[in-house]
Structure 1
Amino acid sequence: MSQIASIMAFVSPQPLHSSDRADDQHLKRFKSFRTNDLNDNVSEIRNQVSSICRSACVHLEQLDLSLVSIFMDDSYPAVYQDLIAGTLDYIDFTIKCLDKSELNAAEKHWEGWIHQINFELDRSIVSVVSSTALYHLHNEDTRFGRELVIHLTELVIPIIKLSRLFFNKLSRRGMNSKPLASSTGMNSQQIRCLSESAHAVWMTIAELLNLLDKANKAPEADPVYTWGITQEIKNLASQFEAPLLIAVLYLVPLIPERDPDHNYYRDWFATWNTQMVLATNRFLHVARSTDRIPS
């Protein structure tokens, strides 16, 4: 373990370089974003090895070696096997990460947030449906009752679907399924932006639905103004500007031009952007038709 620590100190000296460096695009696998990820993985390996050692110490302390019976129920070997197998798997995962693409490194950070976006999509659908199997799984109070709130929620559903579709297209279900080069012209700041984009999108979607829920329940004396709702939808649209540019400038060019998928992904992102602009403008047009949500 001391050898591993020495190697990591050389590759990623303390204090760690900022993972938001904008001048390391030439460092390939040694960009600060990648070395920070590697350092985190190695720290986890060290923790797992320590757990194995602690488990062994406890086992030895519990054994009275002079009185051990052949009938003694000793389950510790199974514990060791599970801990060791898990650690070996994580070591293998860490080694493979070194050869993975920067898109793969970013996706590792956003995977969990896609599930949260799916949750918000279900939440929005349940809020406007009247009679479906999905609806019957939820309390009747979850359905919106005010006409404008229902209409705005119906308009936000395509925006949430487009948000999810963007990340699915970049993920292992889409572009990341192709054998991409391990490094691009991106710097660590751009990789970080891509890796955190799904989290930012989810938070904005959740806040938007919270505002719609608040508008649906607000008393007449204290109405919700549509300004805050329009700001959230504009925030959501703006959060795709950098990831979309990164995809077009750095990720699509990784696919050789002779590969039909090169033009496919280039055209797909252009079409996606058009659909997102149209969906956002439809929402804003309706939201701006009044300054407050009528009761």
Structure 2
Amino acid sequence: MLDSSSEGSNATESDSSQETDYWPQDDLVLDGFIALACKYSPNSAPYDDDISDEAASSVDQAASPVDQAAFSVDQANLKQQSLEALTSHLPLLAQQLIKLSLSLDSAQFSENPGPTLKLILSIQSELDRTLDQIQSALHALYPIPPQSRCTRTNDQHHKGLKSFRLKGLYYRIEGPLLENVGSIFMHSHGFLHAPKLTTEDLQLQTAEASIRDQMTGFMLASSEEIKLAIEWLEGSEFNLVQKQWPMELFGINIQLEILMDLINRTTQLEEDEEHLSESATQLGKSLLPIIKLSRLFINKLMMRGMNKKYLPLFTEMRSDQMESLAGLARDVNGMVTQLMNFMRVADQSLASNISKFLTHTAKQLERDLLSGLSLFIIYFIPLIPDRHGFSMQDHLRSWFVTWCTQFSFAIQRLKDAAELYVNTSPALPESP
């Protein structure tokens, strides 16, 4: 019979043996996360520096109107197969990332370190295969990274293979998605490596909790990016061109609030607060209808409240036209911001210059809005079905006629206010 000291010694040796048994697997898992992060970072896509002349020529031709008008069957089939691969592998990636997150549990490591590490090694292999398939599909879509902007191409009949959709999908995956996935791998490495950096329980718990919180953020971001990528695969062109509009509308709302605050202030303010002279305030008030009508226009194009599932997936718009329409809200936000910048310095600038800048920017804003409207009327309105005897097409056409009239009146009121501003503004004091 063993004495107590001998029994305790054997127990200690047994625990130590169990710990060292899984050290090789531990190192394999840590190295695996580093390898995955390096292999699938956005800057390590499998593009060869010495890409063949044939492949480069193919890409160059794909950007030309001639090639787009006569899209080869082989090219179309290859791209379609790549899209189908992404359709199946993106949801699979989401599932595997969830499995990885669930496997990184401190309690599991304490109770069953060996089996847990084996599970993580298996998940790493699954992720490697899935990401390799995703990256290969991207490489098939674009043998070399595409230009960010769409040139004029006759791809209006290519449906799901239009360059606007393919480039949007490419940059959604190659940018934000892979960046977040890479961060997940690096934080997974940090989570498993933390016990090697400290023997203090409190420090370890704090480190693991911090890494876990950051990983949760990257997991949520990756899940959202996968959903957005799938939308680029399966979404209608109507929805795709408006992806960034809500964010730009938020910016327009901010500028509108700033203008309203500025023109409603009195001169009895703190010296360091912005305020306008009476003549500049009247000029600023003439901008309100223009900005409000611009915001109303974007909201109407978005057709909020309407069931858009009845719209077809594809239109006969070219990719460059879709890109132009996609940037409409951004351009409107930019010009509204310019108008506000001019108003802020109205009392410190020549009245004639402010008048010229405001009217010129407002006219450019009108041209851009009407250009977007023409695309909407030609390509989207004819696709909207009647519902319960009500013609949404007639309603929208009538609404936009009224809007155009009101916007023209608003531009004229701005011109009148700008002319009055020039005639009534005091001359700027001469510099000493």
Aligned mates of 1:228, 1:86 — CA distance in 2: 41
**Is residue 2:249 matched to residue 1:114?**
yes
Q: From the superposition, tell whether residues 4 and 137 of structure 1 become closer, same or farther in structure 2 (CA, over 3 Å).
A: farther
Q: By how many angstroms is 1:6 displaced?
A: 0.9
1:249-268 matched pairs, under 5 angstroms:
249-257=378-386, 259-268=390-399
CA contact (8 A) 1:102 1:182 kept: yes
Q: By how many angstroms is 1:164 displaced?
A: 0.5
What amino acid does structure 1 have at the position aligned with 2:320? Q
Report the number of matched residues: 286
252-261 or 227-236, which moves further after superposition?
Answer: 252-261
What amino acid does structure 2 have at the position aligned with 1:61? H
CA shift digits 1:79-114 (9 cap, x unpaired): 555544542343233213322222221221232221
Q: From the superposition, tell whether residues 287 and 20 of structure 1 become closer, same or farther in structure 2 (CA, over 3 Å).
A: same
Which residue, 306, 312, 329 being the options, matches 1:198?
A: 329
Counterpart of 2:340? Answer: 209
Q: By how many angstroms is 1:158 displaced?
A: 0.6
Counterpart of 1:49? Answer: 181
Aligned mates of 2:375, 2:145 — CA distance in 1: 28
Counterpart of 1:228? Answer: 357
**Any idea what SS the aligned residue of 2:365 has?**
helix
Counterpart of 1:104? Answer: 239
**Any idea what SS the aligned residue of 1:120 has?**
helix
Q: From the superposition, tell whether residues 174 and 139 of structure 1 become closer, same or farther in structure 2 (CA, over 3 Å).
A: farther
**Is residue 2:105 matched to residue 1:3?**
no
CA shift digits 1:53-90 (9 cap, x unpaired): 2222223333349x898x96343566555544542343
**Any idea what SS the aligned residue of 1:244 has?**
helix
CA contact (8 A) 2:173 2:225 kept: no
Q: What is the TM-score normalised by the length of structure 1? A: 0.83
Aligned mates of 1:109, 1:139 — CA distance in 2: 38
Aligned mates of 1:117, 1:48 — CA distance in 2: 29
CA contact (8 A) 1:193 1:242 kept: no
CA contact (8 A) 1:224 1:293 kept: no
Aligned mates of 1:141, 1:80 — CA distance in 2: 42
**Any idea what SS the aligned residue of 2:382 has?**
helix
* Structure with the larger helix share: 2
Aligned mates of 1:293, 1:90 — CA distance in 2: 54
Q: By how many angstroms is 1:151 displaced?
A: 2.1
CA shift digits 1:255-278 (9 cap, x unpaired): 024653222222212221111111
CA contact (8 A) 2:156 2:317 kept: yes
User: Identity of counterpart residues, as a percentage?
Assistant: 28
Based on CA coordinates, which of the two structures has the bigger radius of gyration? 2
**Is residue 2:308 matched to residue 1:156?**
no
**Is residue 2:384 matched to residue 1:269?**
no
Q: What is the TM-score normalised by the length of structure 2? A: 0.59
- CA RMSD between the two structures: 3.1
Q: From the superposition, tell whether residues 236 and 37 of structure 1 become closer, same or farther in structure 2 (CA, over 3 Å).
A: same
Aligned mates of 1:205, 1:64 — CA distance in 2: 55
Q: Any stretches of 5+ residues in structure 2 without a counterpart?
A: 1-130, 427-432
Aligned mates of 2:185, 2:372 — CA distance in 1: 43
Q: From the superposition, tell whether residues 151 and 280 of structure 1 become closer, same or farther in structure 2 (CA, over 3 Å).
A: same
What amino acid does structure 2 have at the position aligned with 1:115? F
Q: From the superposition, tell whether residues 83 and 142 of structure 1 become closer, same or farther in structure 2 (CA, over 3 Å).
A: closer
Aligned mates of 1:93, 1:108 — CA distance in 2: 9
Q: By how many angstroms is 1:37 displaced?
A: 0.9
CA shift digits 1:181-229 (9 cap, x unpaired): 22111111111111111222222222222223322234xxx55432233
CA contact (8 A) 1:215 1:224 kept: no
Counterpart of 2:313? Answer: 182
CA contact (8 A) 1:158 1:279 kept: yes
Aligned mates of 2:289, 2:195 — CA distance in 1: 63
Q: By how many angstroms is 1:159 displaced?
A: 0.6
